Amino acid sequence: MPAIVLVGAQWGDEGKGKATDLLGDRVDYVVRYQGGNNAGHTVVIGDKKFALHLLPSGILTPAVIPVIGNGVVIDLRVLFDELDGLTAQGVDVSKLRISANAHIITSYNVTIDKTIERFLGKRAIGTTGRGIGPTYGDKIGRMGIRVQDLFDESILRQKVESALITKNNLLTKVYNRAAIHADEVVAELLQYVERLRPMVADTALELHQALEAGKTVLLEGGQGTLLDIDHGTYPFVTSSSPIAGGATIGSGIGPTKITSVIGILKAYATRVGAGPFPTELFDEWGELLRANGGEFGTTTGRARRCGWFDAPVARYATRINGLTDFFLTKLDVLTGIKQIPVCVAYDVDGVRYEELPVSQTDFHHAKPIYENYPGWSEDISGVKTFEELPKNAQDYVLALEKLSHCRISAIGVGQDRNATIVRHNLLG
């Protein structure tokens, strides 16, 4: 049975939560496989809006078992605050599974993240300051704290003390900050142990057994393709691999089990934080997209940078992820625009690039080459089939499909969970 990967095809914030929620009643497990509480999904169900920062979107579907995989980094305070918030809204969170191998964001990771960003000044990367990067750094440096470590106080203390040898030297001698005491860190982490214990499992084994038993597993990334640590606009990226290849590492599911990869693609483009963004708009059109699309970060509240659709980015996502389908979101945001520009290539110092330049310098200097498509004025938020869309909206979708080199199988036409047109079966 299928293991399906759902991945952002731009810089994140494409609407992955809506896509996961759409598929939720047809899958058995939804797995978050990377990232931390530096990303957010917003799902609207009726008159309720749910903002998820760390939890898989599938937690909103009663029949689904939600899983936080080994590739995720977890701030326990944020985790339980989010669980409590959902419980208060009537959501059953009792089925949540958490990998014993997932890494914990400690208070010193958050301190170091904020301190370094502040120290860098104008050269700052634009992190969320939530300790994500330093936690992944500890993981790769083999000094991280894993979920399973919390159940052995002796091991936990040894690991915290070892980590603080280098952390405190950095804080006190380089950044002139106060040292952090191991006792405080250990005590803070241990307060969550008993509540955490029943949620922790060998999730890789459970997911394998689920697939063997004919269950369907949906794997959900936290950010977008262009924020991937290897394949994104480095160094303005996240600290993990949200691309489809990262799903196998972050979940423990082997690559041969994955049957389809769905890319989430916004009908225009947005980005949060620093870094190159060729189609970015600094005029009234950018403001219009931001206002109509509600383009403010679910997790940070920061205003997103807005721009026109970038076809080379979409083609890149198709290739890097091995996409089988696109889910196009927020088509309704473009309603009322008479002529909609689409970036079809770049100009870099007089040279035309059909694909993303390999050089960071060239991509920073890339200027979009646009083609214009006629817009539409009709309200499309209640449209149920592709054929009911205005002719110009249909043509726009078909143009993006051709430019992106991958079929567009679903289209979001409004905020509500049911405001989606399905052209092809996303589950194969």
| Rounded distance between C-alpha atoms, residue 111 and residue 114, angstroms | 5
Active site residue 231: no
| Active-site position among 13, 113, 138, 228 | 13
| Rounded distance between C-alpha atoms, residue 324 and residue 301, angstroms | 32
Nearest to 242 by CA among 317, 324, 354: 317
> Which tokens sit at 70?
């080994």
Contact 57, 245 (CB under 8 A): no
| Rounded distance between C-alpha atoms, residue 288 and residue 261, angstroms | 32
Contact 327, 265 (CB under 8 A): yes
Length of the chain, in residues? 428
Nearest to 100 by CA among 76, 70, 137: 70
Is the link from the previous residue into 341 a cis peptide, with omega within 30 of 0? Answer: no
| Active-site position among 21, 28, 41, 149 | 41
| Rounded distance between C-alpha atoms, residue 276 and residue 19, angstroms | 27
Nearest to 139 by CA among 250, 8, 7, 5: 250
Place of tokens 């394998």: 208
Active site residue 365: no
In 313-427, DSSP assigns E strands to 325-329, 339-348, 351-353, 367-374, 408-412, 420-422
Cα angle: 67, vertex 68, 73; to 5 degrees: 180
Other CB atoms closer than 10 Å to residue 298's CB: what's the count?
Answer: 18
| Rounded distance between C-alpha atoms, residue 372 and residue 370, angstroms | 6
> Which tokens sit at 203?
């999730």
269, β-bridge pairs: 307
Other CB atoms closer than 10 Å to residue 393's CB: what's the count?
Answer: 26
User: 313 in helix, strand or coil?
Assistant: helix
* Residue 208: alpha-carbon gap to chain centroid: 24
Place of tokens 């009322």: 336
| Rounded distance between C-alpha atoms, residue 328 and residue 19, angstroms | 9
Contact 227, 238 (CB under 8 A): yes
As annotated, the active-site residues are 13, 41
